Structures are given as C-alpha cells and as structure tokens.
Amino acid sequence: MKAMRFLMLAAGLAMAAGAQAGDPAVGERLVTEKDCAACHKRLIGGDGSKLYLRSDRKVKSLPQLHAQVSFCATQLKTGWFPEDEEDVVAWLNHRYYHFK
Ligand code: HEC
C-alpha cells in the first residue's frame, strides 16, 4: 500500500516536472491546430516561419519567447492554459530559437 502511494506521488512529480519543461511534440500540434502561421504568413510571406528565423527577430531570450507566445496566443484567443503555452515555447525553442 505504501509503495503504491509512493509510486503515485513519484508519477505526479514527474508529470509536474514535465509540464514545467514543456513538451515540444504537444507544442507543435497546438501551433498547427491553431494555425499560428496564418497570420505570420500575411506579415512576412513564405510559410511564416521566417518570422522566427530572420536576423532582426524580436525574441532574443527564453523569457521574451514566453512573453511573445502569450501575446500572440491572446490575440488569437486560443484559450490556452499556461501549460499549453509552455509546450508551444518548448516547440518553438526546439525548432527555431535554441535558447538554453
Ligand atoms: C493576429 C496575427 C497573429 C497571430 C494569429 C499570431 N501572431 Fe505571432 N506575431 C504577430 C506579430 C505582429 C508579431 C511581431 C512581428 C514584429 O514585431 O516584427 C509576431 C511575432 C511572433 C513571434 C516572435 C518572432 C520573432 O521576431 O522572434 C513568435 C514566437 C510568435 N509570434 C508566436 C506566435 C504563436 C505561437 C502564435 C499562435 C498562437 C501566433 N504567433 C499567432 C502576429 C500574430
């Protein structure tokens, strides 16, 4: 019984830690689902991803990436929870920004 409770606690902690770090795979799905790129395409053309990769891009740190994702997600009225934004940040960072 005790061991069971310990396992459940450990699993809970692992999940909490995972949520904090963000899951890039989930983030990719969210970005695709909400079609974040549609608006960026209108701004910059191509598939919109140039916005993340241009030399004069706005976002220069992980906290800035968080702030920008929050801002855009609000504009788009995604209804995302902080954990969802966390996943999206993880995805964009993994794919484009590579902040430590
Ligand atoms: C209503 C249009 C619009 C939508 C929808 C939108 N964005 Fe943006 N996004 C912008 C604008 C405008 C900028 C800033 C461009 C600039 O200032 O040069 C931007 C910039 C960004 C940047 C920073 C790019 C850089 O310069 O480094 C990120 C990251 C980003 N958006 C993420 C998202 C995500 C994630 C979504 C989907 C939830 C999203 N955006 C949806 C308009 C939009």
Within-domain flag for 4: no
Relative to the CA of 58, which ligand 1 atom is closest? 26
Residue 59 or 11, more confident: 59
Assess if residue 82 is contained within a domain.
Answer: yes
Helix 62-75 × helix 36-44 angle, to 10°: 100
Top-confidence residue, 37 or 3? 37
Per residue in 38-72, pLDDT tens? 999 999 999 999 999 999 999 999 999 999 999 99
Number of separate domains in the chain: 1
Place of tokens 């968080």: 66
Residue of minimum CA distance from atom 14 in ligand 1: 58
Half-sphere exposure of 79 (CA within 13 A, CB side): 2
Its domain, for residue 35, covers: 22-97
Closest residue CA from atom 11 of ligand 1: 40
Q: Looking at the domain assignment, is residue 5 inside a domain?
A: no
Atom 24 in ligand 1: residue holding the nearest Cα? 52
Supply 28's token pair.
């990719």
Q: Is residue 17 part of a domain?
A: no
CA of 35, closest atom in ligand 1: 37
pTM for this model (two decimals): 0.85
pLDDT digits (tens, 9 = 90+) for 12-29: 555 555 445 899 999 999
Q: Is residue 31 part of a domain?
A: yes
